[in-house]
């Protein structure tokens, strides 16, 4: 048994090496195909920016040893492989805009040597380069959400009102303003009046109109702004119809009062939250007859008692009344 393992050792080692080599050769000879999509980044020198790019993704067809193709596939899924094209155009060669077409090759993908690039789609990518400039733009506050029920934003203030922006010459010639990032005002109430100012960043793009299209162009702004919002309770009005007019006089008033119209309409205003809770019992209409004596008729203004922070919208009308002595008061004479 010992002879079996100890005889012809060099020959046996050579056979093992050849077997491993053949196995590796067989693996590498097995060709794999991969069609997938990768992101495309176009880099430009300082002083230039990419205004438009026909696509930010390309579809590539690769071939190579199956084990290498599998590795490349995993690297693309992990975003470790993408396409990157470097433009070397000088800013001095661009007056305003410059359109170029680029073609992606294997060297732009950083692929292993064993992988072959069969095709790229689209095979031509159009880019528009723009020369950069600086410009002051007005700041516009962007809001999302709604204030708490019963509250409104009645005023807003932004400081500074203008910021310096760096962007393509062609876009900044047409732009007059730039937005802040969206500020969430959902559910805010008067309590927030004490928390201002808020520091808000500037959105890194400007929006311009090109024909029937609206285009967003990337820009750079290194400033931020502070904002103040004036939040007040929402004001509203409410109409109370056919409210009874009460007659108020001194105790044991000896005269009889007859109103020509015992009812009146009253319109009030105030915070919406208060008005929504207001009942007819909270609104009192009356006339004071303390100083009136027969004979009549009289014309008296209607007065009103309202809860705090509620006001009349319109002046109340006058009421016509007759006044006469009671039988008891006549006999007392």
Q: How confident is the model at residue 22 (pLDDT cuts 50, 70, 90)?
A: low
How far is 21 from 17, CA to CA, in rounded Å? 6
Tell whether 209 is covered by a domain.
Answer: yes
What pLDDT is recorded for position 39? 95
| Beta carbons within 10 angstroms of residue 34's beta carbon | 18
Residue 141 has pLDDT above 90, yes or no: yes
Query: Where does a domain end: 104, 123, 142?
Result: 123
Contacts of 184 (CB under 8 A, 6+ apart): 143, 144, 145
Residue 331 has pLDDT above 60, yes or no: no
Same domain, 191 and 247: no
Q: What is the pLDDT of residues 183-224, one digit of tens each?
A: 999 999 988 888 999 999 999 999 888 778 888 888 999 999
Q: Is residue 10 part of a domain?
A: no
Q: Are residues 191 and 242 in the same domain?
A: no
> What is the arithmetic mean of pLDDT over 45-73?
91
Rounded-to-integer distance, Cα 297 and Cα 322, Å? 4
User: What would the two tokens of residue 182 be?
Assistant: 């969206």
Asked if 15 contacts 50 with a C-beta cutoff of 8 angstroms, the reply is: no
CATH number (domain holding residue 96):
2.170.120
Q: What is the mean pLDDT of residues 10-24?
A: 66
* pLDDT tens profile 71-120: 999 999 999 999 999 998 887 778 778 889 999 999 999 899 999 999 99
Name which of 103, 139, 115, 96 is nearest 35 in CA terms. 115
Q: Is the pLDDT of residue 160 over 60?
A: yes
Domain assignment of residue 57, given as a range: 33-123
pLDDT computed for residue 7 by the predictor: 61
Residue 211 in any domain: the answer is yes
Q: Is residue 19 part of a domain?
A: no
Backbone torsions φ then ψ of 275, nearest 5 degrees? -65, -35
Mean pLDDT across 222-248: 93
254-263 burial code (b ≥16 CB/10 A, e <16): eeebebeeee
What does pLDDT average to over the chain?
A: 87
Q: At 267, is the pLDDT very low, low, confident or very high (cuts 50, 70, 90)? A: very high
Residue 173 lies in a domain: yes
- Model confidence, pTM: 0.59
* 113 lies in some domain: yes
- The kind and range of the H/E element at 75 are helix 66-77
Structure tokens at 126: 């159009």
Q: Are strands 177-179 and 143-144 parallel, antiparallel or unpaired?
A: unpaired
- Whose tokens are 């001194």? That residue is 250
The residue-averaged pLDDT of 161-169 equals 94
Domain count, the chain: 3
137 and 229 housed in the same domain: yes
Assigned domain for 188 exists = yes
Closest alpha carbon to 310 in 276, 274, 285, 281 = 274
């Amino acid at each position: 048994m010992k002879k079996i393992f100890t005889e012809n050792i060099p020959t046996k080692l050579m056979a093992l090496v050849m077997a491993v080599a053949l196995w590796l050769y067989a693996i590498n000879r097995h060709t794999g195909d991969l069609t997938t999509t990768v992101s495309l980044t176009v880099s430009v020198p300082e002083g230039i920016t990419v205004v438009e790019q026909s696509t930010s993704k390309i579809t590539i067809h690769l071939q190579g040893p199956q084990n290498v193709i599998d590795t490349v596939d995993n690297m693309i899924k992990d975003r470790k492989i993408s396409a990157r094209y470097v433009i070397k155009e000088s800013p001095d060669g661009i007056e305003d805009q410059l359109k170029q077409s680029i073609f992606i090759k294997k060297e732009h993908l950083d692929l292993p040597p064993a992988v072959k690039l069969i095709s790229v789609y689209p095979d031509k990518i159009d880019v528009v380069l723009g020369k950069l400039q600086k410009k002051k733009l007005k700041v516009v506050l962007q809001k999302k959400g709604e204030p708490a029920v019963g509250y409104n934003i009645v005023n807003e203030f932004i400081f500074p009102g203008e910021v310096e922006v760096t962007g393509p010459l062609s876009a900044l010639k047409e732009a007059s303003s730039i937005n802040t990032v969206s500020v969430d005002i959902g559910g805010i109430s008067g309590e927030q009046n004490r928390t201002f100012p808020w520091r808000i960043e500037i959105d890194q793009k400007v929006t311009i109109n090109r024909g029937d299209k609206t285009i967003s162009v990337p820009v750079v702004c290194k400033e931020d702004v502070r904002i103040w919002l004036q939040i007040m309770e929402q004001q509203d009005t409410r109409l109370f119809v056919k409210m009874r007019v009460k007659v108020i006089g001194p105790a044991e008033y000896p005269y009889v009062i007859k109103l020509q119209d015992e009812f009146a309409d009253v319109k009030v205003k105030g915070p919406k939250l208060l008005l929504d809770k207001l009942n007819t019992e909270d609104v009192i209409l009356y006339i004071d007859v303390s100083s009136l004596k027969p004979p009549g008729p009289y014309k008296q203004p209607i007065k009103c008692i309202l809860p705090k922070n509620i006001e009349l919208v319109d002046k109340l009308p006058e009421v016509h009344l007759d006044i006469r002595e009671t039988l008891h008061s006549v006999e007392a004479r």
